[in-house]
A and B are shown apart, each in its own frame.
Chain A
Amino acid sequence: MLLAATDYVRPASLQEAIDELGSRRGARVLAGGQSLINVLKHRAAAVELLVDVSRLQELRFIDVRADGSARIGAATTYGELERSPELRASHAIVADVAAGTVDRQVRARGTIGGNACFADPASNYPPLLVALGAEMEVAGRDGTRSVAAEDFFLGLWRTAVGPGEVLTAITLPALGGAGVGYRSLQIAADSWALARAAAWVAPGDPVTAARVVLGCVAATPVRASAAESKLVGGPRTAEAATAAGALSSEGLDPPSDVHATGGYRRAMAAVMAARALRDALGFGEEVVSNGR
């Protein structure tokens, strides 16, 4: 397949990348390319200049700090996340999601920052990043700003990264005893999902704070505030998790497509939320799939 003509540059530093991105309106960041190359094949976006950041060491690191927080370079690949013992110790759920992403080939090239910036409604990291309370660092000509993951995803394939900007790092706050869970209803092991739910529950009984975030049900990750309210102040029990999960997708109107009706997606999002919450509270059932 022939791609439309485009230009390409592989800057040697983040500063050079920012200069290049600001040099032309049609400049886009190229990281692992595992989504963008297909976009280019379909000629779905006009790209005049690809700024390849995939080899920038400034964007490729996993820094787990003494306080248990983790700062991850945006161009870190799924494979690097999957194989990091430090990340497995601080945020195993993030490494597990990497390990279950598509296939070995995609994991060798695809990046966590690319996944977040592509911002497909079915992408795996966006709901989890919102649930974990991640902070996204966005760099541009005017410096670096920090955007909460919850404010980062703006719409279908749209994020807070503006023209001339690049996502540089993602900081995951320390879990500090919080429970987390992430469940997806997938068409096949490691494949596309019909519904996703991520849960984070602060330590303490009764529950003091919780985040429940759904994926695949709207253009962006959705905070399930009714489920969160139901949990907070209540006991840490499997029954409470199940009851809160059941409320999580009420009122949503997910799209229908060849894989599932909107109603099925909404129903399954609630099931995933209940399971993710049971995982977060320590009542999770074993996942029986894909040989892990």
Chain B
Amino acid sequence: MAGEGGAVHAIEVTVNGQTHSTAVEARRLLVHFIRETLGLRGTHIGCDSGNCGACSVICDGRLIKSCMMLAVAADGCEIETIESIGEGADGLDPIQEAFREHHGVQCGYCTPGIVLNAKTLLAENPDPSEAEIRRALVGNICRCTGYVNIVRSIQAAAEALR
């Protein structure tokens, strides 16, 4: 099949546990596939240039920026977005609870990426130092909070999860 956007490619991607068999143009970014094709709008687009981290998702267990990967390259991969978490009584993940408790959210635009960053960080390192948390956040830009409450939230989440 060829159209204006070039040939389409069959892909099979698992997103939040659900497998999608579909066809995409090679030029389609993973972030657009997630937001527009699947309608999962919790993954945000901030800069469109791989700098801000608002589009961060988990791909095969590792945090990536979904604006820096083609959807076709995610064929066979397992993607987790912010919609995948939140099993608690009030529908929140312990990391989200900690962000609420410690006011780690201001405008909220960067939050989904940062929460997923924290999830992968704490999976690798359950007891990170403040310096390690700050260093892990390098790829996620927040323009509201100055990071102080975000760091506190992640420290609290680490404690709750240990």
Interface residues of A (CB under 8 A from B): 1-8, 10, 30, 33-34, 37-38, 40-41, 50, 52, 54, 79, 102-106, 108-109, 189-190, 290-292
A38 to B134, CA, bound (A): 26
Of A1, A4, A40, most B-chain CB atoms within 10 Å: A1
Nearest residue in A to B140 (C-beta to C-beta)? A103
Nearest residue in A to B138 (C-beta to C-beta)? A103
Task: Indicate if B108 sits at the interface (CB-CB under 8 A).
Answer: no
Besides A5-B27, A37-B67, A104-B138, 12 other CB < 8 A contacts? A3-B28, A5-B5, A7-B6, A33-B68, A37-B50, A37-B68, A37-B69, A38-B68, A104-B139, A105-B139, A106-B139, A190-B138
A52 surroundings in chain B (CB, below 8 A): 73
Cross-chain contact of A8 among B9, B62, B67, B138 (Cβ < 8 A) = B9
Q: Are A6 and B135 in contact, with the CB atoms below 8 A?
A: no
A86 to B137, CA, bound (A): 27
15 contacts between A and B (CB under 8 A): A5-B26, A5-B27, A7-B7, A8-B26, A33-B70, A37-B69, A50-B70, A104-B62, A104-B117, A105-B63, A105-B65, A108-B62, A190-B135, A290-B135, A291-B134
Cross-chain contact of A2 among B27, B73, B136 (Cβ < 8 A) = B27
A218 to B64, CA, bound (A): 31
Interface of B is mostly: mixed
Cross-chain contact of A54 among B73, B132, B140 (Cβ < 8 A) = B73
Of A34, A104, A190, A292, most B-chain CB atoms within 10 Å: A104
Nearest residue in A to B55 (C-beta to C-beta)? A105
Q: Are B62 and A79 in contact, with the CB atoms below 8 A?
A: yes
Can you list, as one digit per residue, whether each of B50-69 has a CB less than 8 Å from chain A (1) or not (0)? 10010010010011110111
A189 to B64, CA, bound (A): 19
What is the distance, in angstroms, from A195's C-beta to the closest C-beta of chain B? 21
Nearest residue in A to B62 (C-beta to C-beta)? A108
Supposing A5-B25, A38-B50, A50-B26 touch, asked if A109 and B138 sit within 8 A by C-beta, the answer is no
Q: Are B73 and A30 in contact, with the CB atoms below 8 A?
A: yes
A37 to B53, CA, bound (A): 15
A10 surroundings in chain B (CB, below 8 A): 72-73, 75
A3 surroundings in chain B (CB, below 8 A): 27-29
A79 to B64, CA, bound (A): 12
Cross-chain contact of B4 among A1, A5, A37 (Cβ < 8 A) = A5
Task: Indicate if B129 sits at the interface (CB-CB under 8 A).
Answer: yes
What is the distance, in angstroms, from B50's C-beta to the closest C-beta of chain A? 6
Q: Are B56 and A41 in contact, with the CB atoms below 8 A?
A: no
